[in-house]
Amino acid sequence: MSKMEIIHNLIEDIPVLFVSGKIDAVTSKDLETALIGLIDQNKKFLIINMEKVEFLSSSGLRVLMASLNKLKHRDGDLLLAALQPFVKDVFFLTGASRFFSIYPNQGEAINSLQAQSR
Amino acid sequence: MLDSLINDSMILLQAVSVIVVAALLISRSRYFAEIMDERATWKNQLVLILVFGIVSIYGSVIGINVLGGIINVRDLGPLVAGLSCGPVVGLGSGLIGAAFRFSQGGFTAPACSFVVTLAGLLGGLVYLCKGRFPSVVFATIFAVFFELLHMMLTLVISQPFDLAWSVVSQALGPMVLANGVGMLIFASIISNVIRERETKKERDSYQLELQKKQAELVVAADIQKSFLPGKIPDLDGFDIAATTIPAKEVGGDFYDFIEQDDNLECVIADVSGKGVPAALFMALSRIILRACAAPQRRASERLRCANKMIVDDSGSATSGMFVTLFFASLNRIDRSLVYANAGHNPPLLFRAASSSIERMDVTGVALGMMEDMEYEQRQLVLESGDILLLYTDGIVEAMNGKEEFFGENRLRSSLAAATELSAQGILDSILRDLNRFSAGAEQSDDITAMVIKVRGRSGSLNQ
């Protein structure tokens, strides 16, 4: 019923997770595993492309918050791209949008990281 | 001629039957199971040495006539013993087989005794290399090659060579065939048992996991239930109703009432995540909000204090946990309401005078997300007939069979249609509409709601 897929990509040396489907109490565990895996590889910057995420529950937002805090702790960041209306509402309603760098699409997220590293 | 062929076939069949029965009995025995679980003791090893030793002795005495050669399956027992239980059991049973063969005498006795010992030892070495019983194909090929080795050693060791040559040349084909087939049978049965045990182990651990999960569900539900108010307080001029319907895996919704002099504080909240962690976080949040109570702190100060304590004490920054919470303080005397909203679904406020519905918007970030957050507070005055509807996302995110959300618009219509009812009546009516909408689709999140209706001023004042 609740299905989510994660595709790992490496674009310009930046790990990008392309997530699709619903991030709920069940699937958020897989997202957490994927994010912790990358964080444990000592990655500092991660991008999640959420273009195909149609639902985000509080469990999912918790996983994103935890990863964001870990990355910020090592002066990194978690960038979010292409939030759909429902997902955007969750971020703005809870106020989580104040802590994340949110971009309209994946390209702009990558550009901003490259501009920072230059 | 025909008689002897039938006779030989019967003996062959008997030998096969004995091997099958022996394989079944051994592989299903407690001692074998213990060795498979890597719990080898001197006792279970000794028992298996004896049993495989007897299989080896049986293989010596059976003496089957196959294609004109008298053959034996003496090596089979120790080979299997070594392959399945390691070098100790292999060597032990090999020595028993060797002792018996040596006592039988004959010019091939030294060679055959040596070879049967070697069978147990080599089988055991293979086990050590592989760390487990090899595949059926491997075991069968191993047995075939071992019999070829057996024949070569007989030729090398036995004197005179001519006699040895005539025995070996007659027995070679049948011996390889008989031991190969014997191993095929034995190995198939043992592999089967090993596979069954692995499947059972997986099933057991899965069931254990399931039981744990179910116990957790019960614990989480108990925690949640024990932290809800026992009864709804009476407040002059207000009619109040509240309920929570936990999902199968509880999500940490809660509501609370705190009485402070002339004020009644009403809280509704939703903790991130589900299960025991959410339930514990809910209990903590509820206690912290109460601990932050002070007469002068009507809303924004309360949430500021609660946020600080949650971030400091719960490690929520690491776990990412947070709680969305709406806090309202109702004054019984002047019917004023002060509220602050920490990232919670905006409650709806029905204004009787204009028959319109307003939202009580977010005034700050969900509690626990980040330290040092500010929360605005808003104040308004309630009039007779006004209705406040506080709810959690379990209502607006309830789905029907077509995967559509109930949504805020349906909730507004539901409220608008029930404004003439009592608080409990409004609550029931909304839940009925929600039920009709979701029509049996599984409830995935807690559903919590509170309705506060302002009564008409009694007698002497307004009416």
DSSP string, B205-271: HHHHHHHHHHHHHHHHHHHHHHTS-SSPPPBTTEEEEEEEE--SS---EEEEEEEETTEEEEEEEEE
Could you give the CA distance from residue B10 to residue A91 in angstroms, rounded to a whole number? 81
Does the structure show a pLDDT above 70 at A7?
A: yes
Measured between CB atoms, does B253 come within 8 Å of chain A?
no
CA distances from B57 to B60, B76, B110 (A): 5, 10, 16
Could you give the CA distance from residue B172 to residue B177 in angstroms, rounded to a whole number? 9
Most trustworthy range by pLDDT among B8-17, B104-113, B271-280, B294-303: B271-280
**Contact (CB<8Å) A95/B365:** yes
Q: Assign domain B2-204 to its CATH architecture.
A: Orthogonal Bundle (1.10)
CA of A92: which chain B residue's CA is closest? B343
Helix axes B87-104, B109-130, angle to 10 degrees: 170
Residue B458 pLDDT? 57
Q: Where are the beta strands (DSSP E) in B261-373?
A: 263-271, 323-331, 336-342, 348-351, 356-359
pLDDT digits over A77-94, tens only? 999 999 999 999 999 999
All residues of chain A having their beta carbon less than 8 Å from the beta carbon of residue B272 are: 58-59, 61-62, 65
Side chain identity, residue B142: F
pLDDT digits over B317-344, tens only? 788 999 999 999 999 999 999 999 999 9
Residue B460 pLDDT? 38
All residues of chain A having their beta carbon less than 8 Å from the beta carbon of residue B408 are: none
Contacts for B28 with CB less than 8 Å, ≥ 6 apart: B193
Could you give the CA distance from residue A8 to residue B443 in angstroms, rounded to a whole number? 32
CA of A95: which chain B residue's CA is closest? B365
Place of tokens 């500021």: B304
> What is the number of alpha carbons within 13 Å of residue B127 lying toward its C-beta?
24
Does the structure show a pLDDT above 60 at A1?
A: no
All residues of chain A having their beta carbon less than 8 Å from the beta carbon of residue B251 are: 25, 58
All residues of chain B having their beta carbon less than 8 Å from the beta carbon of residue A62 are: 272-273, 319-322
Could you give the CA distance from residue B193 to residue B90 in angstroms, rounded to a whole number? 19
Mean pLDDT calculated for residue range A30-52 = 94
Q: What is the DSSP letter of A2?
A: -
Residue B162 pLDDT? 85
Measured between CB atoms, does B456 come within 8 Å of chain A?
no
All residues of chain B having their beta carbon less than 8 Å from the beta carbon of residue A63 are: 320
What is the C-alpha end-to-end distance of chain A, expressed in Å?
A: 44
**Contact (CB<8Å) A62/B321:** yes
Token readout for B91 is 């060597």
Nearest-neighbour CA in chain B from A15: distance (Å): 21
Shortest CB distance from B369 goes to which of A25, A57, A65? A65
Measured between CB atoms, does B303 come within 8 Å of chain A?
no
Domain ranges of chain A: 4-117
Token readout for B256 is 């609370």
Residue A84 pLDDT? 95
In chain A, % of residues over pLDDT 70 = 97
Q: A35, A65, A69: best mutation site toward chain B, by most B Cβ within 10 Å? A: A65
Reduced to 3 states (helix: H, G, I; strand: E, B; else coil), residue B455 is coil
**Contact (CB<8Å) A25/B444:** yes
Task: Select the more confidently predicted residue: A115 or B6.
Answer: A115
Say yes or no: ipTM exceeds 0.95: no
Side chain identity, residue B394: G
Residue B461 pLDDT? 43
Could you give the CA distance from residue B82 to residue B79 in angstroms, rounded to a whole number? 5
Nearest-neighbour CA in chain A from B259: distance (Å): 27
Nearest-neighbour CA in chain B from A104: distance (Å): 22
Side chain identity, residue A115: A
Q: Across the strands, what pairs with B324?
A: B270
Residue B459 pLDDT? 43
Q: Give me the numbers of helices (H) and strands (E) for chain A, helices first please.
A: 4, 5
Q: What is the DSSP letter of B344?
A: P
Residue B194 pLDDT? 87
Shortest CB distance from B370 goes to which of A58, A61, A99? A99
Q: A56, A94, A97, A100: best mutation site toward chain B, by most B Cβ within 10 Å? A: A94
Tally of CB atoms within 10 A around A2: 14
**Contact (CB<8Å) B320/A62:** yes
Mean pLDDT calculated for residue range B442-459 = 87
Reduced to 3 states (helix: H, G, I; strand: E, B; else coil), residue B41 is coil
**Contact (CB<8Å) A25/B324:** no
All residues of chain A having their beta carbon less than 8 Å from the beta carbon of residue B273 are: 25, 58-59, 62
All residues of chain A having their beta carbon less than 8 Å from the beta carbon of residue B271 are: 58
Residue B20 pLDDT? 82
CA distances from B189 to A55, B18, B217 (A): 51, 13, 42
Tally of CB atoms within 10 A around B295: 8
**Contact (CB<8Å) A98/B320:** no
**CB-CB contact of B92 with B53 (8 Å):** yes
A interface with B, Cβ–Cβ < 8 A, is 24-25, 57-59, 61-70, 93-96, 98-99
Mean pLDDT calculated for residue range B197-219 = 90
Nearest-neighbour CA in chain A from B289: distance (Å): 18
Asked whether the CA dihedral B274, B277, B279, B285 is positive or negative, the reply is negative
In chain A, % of residues over pLDDT 90 = 86
Mean pLDDT calculated for residue range B238-248 = 93
CATH class name, domain A4-117: alpha beta
Residue B70 pLDDT? 65
Mean pLDDT calculated for residue range B181-196 = 90
pLDDT digits over B381-430, tens only? 999 999 999 999 999 999 998 889 999 999 999 999 999 999 999 999 99
Could you give the CA distance from residue A92 to residue B197 in angstroms, rounded to a whole number? 53
Mean pLDDT calculated for residue range B211-215 = 89
What is the C-alpha end-to-end distance of chain B, expressed in Å?
A: 123
Contacts for B285 with CB less than 8 Å, ≥ 6 apart: B254, B269, B271, B306, B310, B323, B325, B367, B368
Does the structure show a pLDDT above 80 at B3?
A: no
Please give the mean pLDDT across all residues of chain B.
90
Nearest-neighbour CA in chain B from A66: distance (Å): 4
All residues of chain A having their beta carbon less than 8 Å from the beta carbon of residue B369 are: 65, 94-96, 99
Could you give the CA distance from residue B134 to residue B126 in angstroms, rounded to a whole number? 8
**Comparing C-alpha atoms, which of B173, B125, B121, B184 is closest to residue B147?**
B173
Could you give the CA distance from residue B424 to residue B428 in angstroms, rounded to a whole number? 6
Reduced to 3 states (helix: H, G, I; strand: E, B; else coil), residue B96 is helix
Contacts for A8 with CB less than 8 Å, ≥ 6 apart: A15, A16, A17, A34
Q: Across the strands, what pairs with A22?
A: A55
**Contact (CB<8Å) B322/A94:** yes
- Please list the residue range(s) of chain B that carry CATH number 3.60.40.10: 227-454
Could you give the CA distance from residue B35 to residue B193 in angstroms, rounded to a whole number? 13
In chain B, % of residues over pLDDT 90 = 59
Residue A2 pLDDT? 58
Residue A46 pLDDT? 95
Place of tokens 């007989």: B154
Helix axes B300-314, B275-291, angle to 10 degrees: 130
All residues of chain A having their beta carbon less than 8 Å from the beta carbon of residue B318 are: 66, 69-70
Based on the number of CB atoms within 10 Å of its own CB, is A101 exposed (0-12), middle (13-18) or buried (19 or more)? middle
**Contact (CB<8Å) A93/B318:** no
Mean pLDDT calculated for residue range B292-296 = 83
Q: Assign domain B227-454 to its CATH architecture.
A: 4-Layer Sandwich (3.60)
Give the pLDDT band (50/70/90) at residue B462. Answer: very low
pLDDT digits over A47-87, tens only? 999 999 999 999 999 999 999 999 999 999 999 999 999 99
Contacts for A62 with CB less than 8 Å, ≥ 6 apart: A28, B272, B273, B319, B320, B321, B322
Could you give the CA distance from residue B22 to residue B274 in angstroms, rounded to a whole number? 54
Residue B266 pLDDT? 96
Place of tokens 């991660």: A46
Task: Select the more confidently predicted residue: B266 or B15.
Answer: B266
CA of B362: which chain A residue's CA is closest? A93
Residue B463 pLDDT? 37
Measured between CB atoms, does B369 come within 8 Å of chain A?
yes
pLDDT digits over B80-126, tens only? 999 999 999 999 999 999 999 999 888 888 888 999 999 999 999 99
Q: What is the DSSP letter of B106?
A: S
Residue B167 pLDDT? 80
- Please list the residue range(s) of chain B that carry CATH number 1.10.1760.20: 2-204
